[in-house]
Amino acid sequence: MATYEINNRLLEFPAKPEMDSEEEVAEWLEAFDQVIEGEGTNRGCELIEALIERARVVGVEIPVQLNTPYVNTIAVDEEVPYPGDRKLERRMKSLTRWNAMAMVHRQNKKDPGIGGHISTYSSLATLLEVGFNHFFHGRYGDQPGDFIYFQGHASPGVYARAYLLGRITEEQVQNFRHELRGRPALSSYPHPWLMPDFWRFPTVSMGLGPLNSIYQARFMRYLENRNLIAKTPRKVWAFVGDGETDEPESMGSLTLASREKLDNLIFVVNCNLQRLDGPVRGNGKIIQELEAAFRGAGWNVIKVMWGCDWDRLFARDKSGLLVKRLSEAVDGEYQTYKVKGGEYIRREFFGKYPELLEMVSDMSDEELHRLTRGGHDPQKVYNAYKRAVEHQGGPTVILAHTVKGYGLGSAEARNATHQEKKLADQALTAFRSRFAIPIPEMAAREGRLYRPPDDSPEILYARKCREELGGFVLTREVPPPSFQAPPISEFEDSLAGSKGRAVSTTMGFVSMLRQLMKHAEIGKLIVPIIPDEGRTFGMESIIRQVGIYASQGQLYKPHDQDMLLYYREEKDGQILEEGITEAGSMASFTAAGTAYANYKVPTIPFFTYYSMFGFQRIGDMVWAFADSRGKGFMMGGTAGRTTLAGEGLQHQDGHSLVLASTVPTCHSYDPAFVYEIAVIVQDGIRRMYQELEDRFYYITIYNEDYAMPEIPQGCEEGILRGIYKYKTAPGGKAAIQLFGSGPILNEALRAQGVLAEQYGVQADVWSATSYNELRRDALSIERWNRMHPAEPEKIPYILTALDGAEGPIVAATDYMKVVPDQLAPWLGGRLVTLGTDGFGRSDNREHLRRHFEVNAESIAAAALSRLARDGKFEVQRAQKALEELGVDSEKIDPGIA
Ligand SMILES: Cc1ncc(C[n+]2csc(CCOP(=O)(O)OP(=O)(O)O)c2C)c(N)n1
Ligand SMILES: [Mg+2]
């Protein structure tokens, strides 16, 4: 057997006796070397490829090799010299390091436990500085510049640099993590919601930055291919933690980037080999693992492993023993080397082989300890960035080897370094000396900030670098509105009703979308996003109308091309058909929903999806969308626990509206009729894009077919605010009020008839389009009343709307009971809620609604039962009514079934 290291694993293969001869191997190698020498590396590559091809043809199984040795990808002789002033850049970097550390240290001394991070930025400093000084563009002509997704918890470093350049003030820095003191402050992490003119991308929930950045780069191409923005060399840079790559979101969409040839995308993975608790891969090598994964996914991989001081050692390493030793040691050992220092490194690392010990015999322990990792060497980082920026045809990942807590003395590379918030006096003094910060020792111990005068050489230099690159990167601007929302009259098809034809709200929505996309001014701005559910929602006609975006166009003849509604892909297609990835679709929704600020193009996304796989699956991304001040419409299709028939427990959504209510900028609606959707969408476009309100919409759309009525007079305000009376009691003053939402409104209408005809009870029926909106209104009114005890009380909208309406209220919904229950505080005990708590079942609507007790019979029974308890209906008759209506009073509670 012969052992080979392949993809970071030792594999054994049967050795063929004739191939095991060292002589024969040497001959082959010599021949190969001659080819390289005589004809160059390209020729060498061709030869190997030909050899591999031949081997495959004759049946030799060749293991796939995705790893390269544990050294820099860019050879020394391929490097270009550093273009900047290394001395001034180092000075700026030292000052940034100091202020980043001091900001956290000082705040934690003043306010113990306020938190912040020191060690992440320490490992990232060079990677960011080289970018800021030489690569990150502030703008491209009249276009915005590069987009940078920062590691969220490295924000103190980003703030420190902005402070040194005068982009943010000393007062702000002094109020890091003190946002509620009535003074300008800095938020803990990148939050556009809290610092809207500074941060663009919220990244601190691990995994969302990498995922969103991939779809951002793709969306940039989409806008270019659709001629909505000019083509620029703009890049999307994503700085990612090595621990962060464990999140499925980080790695789950890598192949999209290579498939779409996104050479506008650069990942920089800060491989400090540690995460919060300890090593990322103590027993293995995270860099090798990531190299194989990214290369396997088709990315260009650049490893930045070792600094320039290693070059001399590699030059001496004729036998390859040093490279072998570097490949042998696991990450846990690399971490220990940093912690234990030079003498330990000599003994444990180099000492394994006498030849290596000899190789470093002229170096002191101190020099061995200081041997730099690639991510801390500007020369190596510059070359990697340059190559990444110049790379064409696909995305690049830079795997940068760094030290967590670099420069923090005793905290460097220790397992606990992530949680370090304060430095001991001695460590501060050492830090101050190491980075030559010109402040007195006592000031250093307090963590005082230090900013040299504006005309000092380092500040002038750093400012000049930024000016040459088009200005500050950390800016976010919102342009004035560029269009007026189409008036409601332009939605006339949707307002007119279906003339008796049975249609669903989903079908109604799709035709509304089709119309909107034909609109002369805003049609092109609509971005329909679907995760492989277009047919479920009947969107084939839209696919035919505007095409699916496909960066290469359509390279095949679709089998259905002779049909009217064929599968149409176009280079400038308008639909983003994402395939089965709600996370990816949400990332596209985020790119499109923030394009008004990021690209100054106010695209209006409609993300239409299977509602059950929305909020509960990708809720964290929705939260980040809100933080990003995202705008657009999330259309929750196949809505309702009993309206989506047949599909059962995992599919039937009865709680998205609960989850939607948790997001402050999300306005959620549960419409029954198409005209309601039209009113909500029209007003949504007006508020988001004309009035520039930072909000977005969640709207349920159902697949039950029924006749859509024409819009009744004067209901617009009620639709938007959450409730309006849809049908007054047919036979006089109502004794009870029935609220219905979505298709359950039809059950309420049927119950109205049953109550009147069979029991002589009059009921009004209301369409409750949004309990969430009604509750928010009531909460804000209540708060106002609380704050102004001397003023006359204001009345919440729900009570104004109900004015004069008497009796108990039965509210029925296809969602959980907690949705209507939100109004309980204002309805004084009048409310009886029927909803769909519990797991779904596979059955038809009739059975589902009976099971969940939201059918017309259950609504009527609940009304009578409640009237009986209130002494307004005879109790025995009410009990009998349950039986007559087929409501089994002893059946199991669906909430626990
Ligand atoms: C989804 C999520 N889970 C957990 C955390 C808490 N957290 C913040 S930083 C961190 C460790 C990050 O390690 P790594 O990505 O390697 O970054 P480093 O600080 O080492 O550069 C964790 C677990 C988070 N922010 N997001
Ligand atoms: Mg890490």
- Pairing type for strands 396-401 and 265-271 reads parallel
Q: How far is the CA of 417 from the centre of ligand 1 (A)?
A: 13
Give the number of the atom of ligand 1 that is nearest the alpha carbon of residue 270.
Answer: 21
Contact 124, 407 (CB under 8 A): no
Q: What is the best residue among 271, 276, 290 to mutate for testing ligand 1's pocket, by most ligand atoms within 8 Å of CB?
A: 276
Residue 242 CB less than 6 A away from ligand 1? yes
pLDDT value at residue 15: 52
pLDDT value at residue 422: 86
Q: How far is the CA of 275 from the centre of ligand 1 (A)?
A: 6
Q: What is the best residue among 275, 286, 417 to mutate for testing ligand 1's pocket, by most ligand atoms within 8 Å of CB?
A: 275
Residue 244 CB less than 6 A away from ligand 1? yes
Q: Whose CA is nearest to atom 20 of ligand 1?
A: 275
Residue 276 CB less than 6 A away from ligand 1? yes
Average pLDDT of adjacent 10-residue blocks, the chain of 897 residues? 53 52 87 91 90 90 91 98 98 97 94 94 98 97 95 98 98 97 98 98 98 98 98 97 98 98 98 97 98 98 98 95 97 96 97 97 97 98 98 98 91 86 88 93 92 97 98 97 97 97 98 97 98 92 95 94 91 97 98 98 98 98 98 98 97 98 98 98 98 98 98 98 97 97 98 98 98 98 98 98 97 98 97 98 98 98 98 98 97 96
pLDDT value at residue 419: 85
| C-alpha–C-alpha distance, residues 266 and 397, integer Å | 6
Residue 817 structure tokens = 């009971």
Q: How far is the CA of 616 from the centre of ligand 2 (A)?
A: 28
pLDDT value at residue 409: 82
Helical spans, DSSP H, in 226-303:
248-251, 254-259, 286-296
Q: How far is the CA of 634 from the centre of ligand 1 (A)?
A: 29
Q: Whose CA is nearest to atom 7 of ligand 1?
A: 276
Residue 134 CB less than 6 A away from ligand 1? no
Helical spans, DSSP H, in 81-135:
86-110, 119-134
The ligand with the least distance to the CA atom of 188 is 1
The ligand with the least distance to the CA atom of 241 is 1
Contact 610, 637 (CB under 8 A): yes
CA dihedral of residues 30, 34, 37, 38 (deg, nearest 10) = 180
| C-alpha–C-alpha distance, residues 403 and 336, integer Å | 11
Q: How far is the CA of 197 from the centre of ligand 2 (A)?
A: 29
Residue 710 structure tokens = 């024409």
Residue 274 CB less than 6 A away from ligand 1? yes
Residue 281 CB less than 6 A away from ligand 1? no
DSSP letter for each residue of 471-513: S-SS----PPP--PPPPGGGGHHHHS--TT-EE-HHHHHHHHH
